[in-house]
Structure formats: structure tokens, C-alpha cells
Amino acid sequence: MAVMTREEQVKAVGLKAGARVVGIASVEAFREKVPEGYRPEDILPGARSVVVAGGDGPTAGAWRSPDNRVMEITGYDLRENVAVHAMCDFIEGTLAHHAIQAPSLPVHGHEPPMSMMHAAELAGLGTRSLAAHIILNPEYGLLYY
């Protein structure tokens, strides 16, 4: 039986926890494309990699509901967030490195600290769509990050 690399182990933990896709980008990939203040090491000094999980998004039933509150409250597939927590636990507990879930949503009217869509693109999980502010995965189509 082949021994899995650390990267393969982290990805396996994320996929088992419910992510549809998992990718890893080096911190260096952000330096040339992301302004200072929004880079991984600005959120976690000493960061070396960014692990990104993508999920399916709202259920078919949530899209059909005439009550928009359903979509806002229960329609989102939060498995990628669960997967990120599982991977953080693995990275800290097994690999003995610091890990955090970088917030991807605006906080108190400010810009998010880091773009998960940009991170997903740099991690090789897809490309930006010209039609919307989304990432398209070559195998699964629209995924949420």
C-alpha cells in the first residue's frame, strides 16, 4: 500500500468530511496577484499553504422555495465549512502546524480578509466565470467556496 503525502492526507480528510473538491495553493502564488493585507500570511503569519474546499451549494428544494428566507437560512450547503474545520483539526492535531478557517464573508461592512474564489482558482479548482462572480470547476460546474 502506497504511503499518502501530507497533501493527499489533507485532501482525503476534506473529501471524507463532505467537500466536493479540495485544492492546495502555495502562499507564493498569492504574492504576485493579491494586494498586501489580503494575503494568507496577513491572516496567519508564517502560513505556507492555503487549503480550499468547494461544495455543491443550495439544494434543489431550496432553489424552488418561493420563500427567500429558506435559501438564506437552510438552502446553503455548508459541507465545505465542515470539511475546512475537519482539515484544520487534522493539520493542527496530526501534522502539528497552525491552521485557521479564513473568513470569506464581509465582516462589519469591511471587505473579507481573503477571497476564497481567488484561492480556489490558485489552488487549481476552477476558473472565474465571466458571467458571474463564481468559480467553475471543470468536472462539477458551479461550486461554492
Cβ contact 135:145 at 8 Å? yes
d(CA 145, CA 141): 13
d(CA 126, CA 124): 6
Please check whether residue 60 lies inside any domain of the structure: yes
Output the pLDDT for position 107: 63
Q: Could you give the residue ranges of the DSSP H alpha helices within the chain? A: 6-16, 28-31, 40-43, 60-64, 68-73, 79-93, 116-122
Please check whether residue 97 lies inside any domain of the structure: yes
Domain extent, residue 99, equals 18-122
Output the pLDDT for position 82: 87
Please check whether residue 142 lies inside any domain of the structure: no
Output the pLDDT for position 64: 86
| Grid cell 468547494 in the structure block, residue | 54
What is the value of pTM for the model shown?
0.84
Please check whether residue 98 lies inside any domain of the structure: yes
Give the total number of structural domains in the chain: 1
Question: First-to-last CA distance in the chain?
Answer: 33
Among candidates 30, 28, 51, which has minimal Cα distance to 102?
Answer: 51
Task: Work out whether the CA dihedral 40, 45, 51, 55 comes out positive or negative.
Answer: negative
Please check whether residue 47 lies inside any domain of the structure: yes
Weakly modelled stretches of the chain, pLDDT under 50: none
Output the pLDDT for position 56: 79
Cβ contact 134:120 at 8 Å? no
Please check whether residue 27 lies inside any domain of the structure: yes
Neighbours of 140 (CB within 10 A): 14
Output the pLDDT for position 98: 96
